[in-house]
């Protein structure tokens, strides 16, 4: 049976990275087949960081181009921008009124991000961010939410808020489940392979960007941190760098990690890194080209996003109406 799928991504950098793709976007593409998928560029969430208007606009459009180039088809799924569907703010407020301060305060993403600039200078929006994310998901009555490991806590909070609302005010929301892979749900920084690959990473050298040149990405892979050994073997504790490269190779080439270990038995890390670089570069080459081509026709991209928003609004407004009614608001 077709399932309702919902996920979102922030337009906070010029390019998505391979962690975004392997942790989430690859599953977005797969799940659009035979399901009813809603994919959202969460621009309102992006306002919780530094705001540079010209850059934000450029990145929202670039996000749309990259998603389509990666395989999200506007015919098979509903691709839209969060700020185009005002219901996200409407249900976001309701979620803020359902959530407790204590549980919001336990969100590790808030703790990590606010610690970086000093907790006092963090925006209120960064604190309420998970409640808006819960609204994103619940508006669409999603069965599954394909995300990387780092979003697990936000999905749990969403489930708690939905359950609380349903219990207190009557059945309103479907309780969603995270769709989190066993392998690839956390891709690590190439330079510091015990930290996740991240847009806010200290060094760009550890992050493989979809829109980066093939030469730049190949160079990053060849200078990835490994270990003092010689054996290409999956061992996250002793060999985090090699294990991360094995995960990346396997996810993109479709080969099994065990088969890759055999293939590179007796060969050095140099050969292995060369092979990983080739797989990554050849995989990304047509995607980058297609994204750049799509970016040449901004009007067409905006049309796609408006059409997506119209479809999203139909579903979202029904959920808001039901939640308002159950809360006792006069419709
Ligand atoms: P964001 O924009 O940071 O990341 C988008 C997706 O990429 C995944 N991801 C990773 N997966 C594996 N390894 C990594 N190194 C890695 N880095 C990022 C993330 O888990 C995510 O799935 N709060 C969300 C955006 C959001 C959302 C939503 C997601 C807003 N509303 C509703 C799902 C449903 C975020 O900041 O993702």
Can 186 be counted among the known catalytic residues?
Answer: no
List the residue whose alpha carbon is closest to atom 7 of ligand 1: 20
The one catalytic residue among 3, 76, 196, 267 = 196
Task: Give the contacts of 59 (CB within 8 A, at least 6 positions apart).
Answer: 11, 12, 13, 14, 46
CA of 7 to the centre of ligand 1 (A): 8
**Please, are residues 140 and 316 in contact by the beta-carbon 8 Å criterion?**
yes
Can you tell me the distance from the alpha carbon of 5 to that of 32, in angstroms, rounded to the nearest whole number?
A: 8
Q: Which of 4, 16, 21, 23 to mutate to test the pocket of ligand 1 (most atoms within 8 A of CB)?
A: 23
Residue nearest (by alpha carbon) to ligand 1 atom 18? 20
To test the pocket of ligand 1, the residue of 20, 22, 63, 85 to mutate (highest count of ligand atoms within 8 Å of its CB) is: 20
The whole-angstrom separation of Cα 331 and Cα 321 is 8
111 has catalytic annotation: no
Flag residues of the chain having pLDDT under 50. none
Query: For the purposes of burial, counting CB atoms within 10 Å of the CB of 49, is it exposed (0-12), middle (13-18) or buried (19 or more)?
Result: middle
Instruction: List Cα–Cα distances, 95 to 176, 309, 313, 314, in angstroms.
Output: 15, 21, 18, 20
Dihedral of the CA atoms 85, 87, 92, 98 (nearest 10)? -160
Give Cβ neighbours of residue 289 (< 8 Å, ≥ 6 apart).
none
* pLDDT value of residue 200: 82
Ligand 1 pocket: which of 13, 151, 240 to mutate (most atoms <8 Å of CB)? 151
Sheet of 177-179, strands arranged across:
78-81, 36-41, 4-9, 144-146, 177-179
Its pTM stands at 0.97
Signed CA dihedral, 218, 219, 225, 228: sign only? positive
For tokens 């081509």, the residue is: 293
Distance 137 CA to ligand 1 centre (A): 13
Distances (CA, A) of 126 to 178, 204, 306: 22, 24, 27
- Ligand 1 centre to CA of 73 (Å) is 20
Active-site pick, 58, 199, 233, 255: 199
Cα torsion 190, 194, 199, 203 to 10°: value is -60
Q: Which residues line ligand 1 (CB under 6 A)?
A: 6-10, 19-20, 23-24, 42, 45, 133, 136-137, 145, 147-148, 150-151, 154, 185-187, 196-198
The yes-or-no answer on residue 113 being catalytic is: yes
């Amino acid at each position: 049976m077709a399932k309702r799928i919902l996920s979102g991504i922030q337009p906070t950098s010029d390019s998505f990275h391979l962690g975004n793709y392997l942790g989430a976007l690859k599953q977005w593409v797969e799940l659009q087949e035979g399901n009813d998928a809603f994919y959202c560029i969460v621009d309102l969430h992006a306002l919780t960081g530094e705001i540079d208007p010209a850059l934000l606009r450029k990145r929202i459009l670039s996000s749309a181009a990259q998603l389509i180039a990666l395989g999200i088809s506007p015919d098979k799924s509903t691709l839209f921008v969060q700020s185009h569907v005002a219901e996200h703010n409407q249900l976001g407020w309701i979620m803020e009124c359902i959530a407790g301060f204590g549980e919001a305060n336990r969100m590790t993403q808030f703790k990590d991000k606010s610690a970086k600039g000093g907790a006092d200078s963090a925006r209120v929006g960064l604190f309420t961010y998970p409640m808006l994310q819960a609204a994103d998901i619940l508006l669409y009555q999603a069965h599954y939410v394909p995300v990387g490991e780092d979003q697990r806590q936000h999905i749990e909070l969403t489930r708690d808020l939905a359950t609380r609302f349903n219990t207190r005010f009557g059945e309103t929301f479907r309780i969603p489940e995270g769709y989190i892979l066993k392998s690839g749900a956390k891709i690590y920084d190439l330079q510091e392979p015990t930290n996740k690959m991240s847009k806010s990473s200290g060094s760009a050298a550890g992050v493989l960007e979809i829109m980066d040149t093939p030469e730049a990405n190949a160079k990053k892979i060849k200078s990835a941190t490994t270990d003092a050994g010689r054996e290409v073997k999956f061992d996250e504790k002793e060999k985090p760098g090699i294990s991360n490269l094995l995960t990346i190779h396997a996810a993109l080439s479709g080969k099994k990690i065990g088969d890759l270990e055999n293939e590179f038995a007796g060969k050095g890390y140099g050969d292995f890194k060369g092979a990983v670089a080739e797989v990554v570069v050849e995989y990304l080459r047509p995607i980058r080209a297609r994204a750049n081509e799509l970016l040449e026709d901004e009007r067409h991209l905006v049309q796609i996003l408006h059409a997506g928003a119209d479809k999203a609004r139909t579903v979202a407004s029904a959920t808001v109406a039901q939640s308002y009614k159950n809360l006792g608001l006069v419709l």
